A and B are shown apart, each in its own frame.
Chain A
Amino acid sequence: DIQMTQSPASLSASLGETVTIECRASEDIYSNLAWYQQKPGNSPQLLIYDANSLADGVPSRFSGSGSGTQYSLKINSLQSEDVASYFCQQYNNYPPYTFGAGTKLELK
């Protein structure tokens, strides 16, 4: 199975700040990576697919980048509604698809 190592596990940031979350795969996943946002008490929602494509309706302050084994999610100008947990997922090698352990983003 491909292991997804996500960092940091938690993050505290101020409104308007830029935040970056990293995900490292145990082998090359050829940009077959998605990012999901999960607000407290809700189901996950797709943010980014294919490493850098924005899902429908997702604000442009969210962006994804990376290749090979290293990927990142950047949130520009942090808003209060961005408080959530974020998960990466690889879909290159399956089964199983594997997720990162998640990053909990809070406001400072």
Chain B
Amino acid sequence: DTGVSQNPRHKITKRGQNVTFRCDPISEHNRLYWYRQTLGQGPEFLTYFQNEAQLEKSRLLSDRFSAERPKGSFSTLEIQRTEQGDSAMYLCASSLEDRVRGETQYFGPGTRLLVL
């Protein structure tokens, strides 16, 4: 299966620790997105890459959050000095520009973060 993969699937950490998540998009997809989802809510946009360039960041993305996509392939999302409010599901999605059929975003299984 060549879908979007995310690692780890689950992460439990103590407040104040740093965590890093990885996303591997579908191989030919040039766009990559990070979203955050809390219980009972729809996902909220965090940031977006086209190839290796980070084109948009949400105001939700405080200076404790940083995302990279070196070489335009996989991406990492790091949270420094985690807080309990960071507990959520972190979802990654990828897409390929398609001007004819429209651009479907394909989501990975998510990384569930719990900050104690």
Q: Do A and B bind each other?
A: no
Binding site for A on B (CB under 8 A): none
Binding site for B on A (CB under 8 A): none
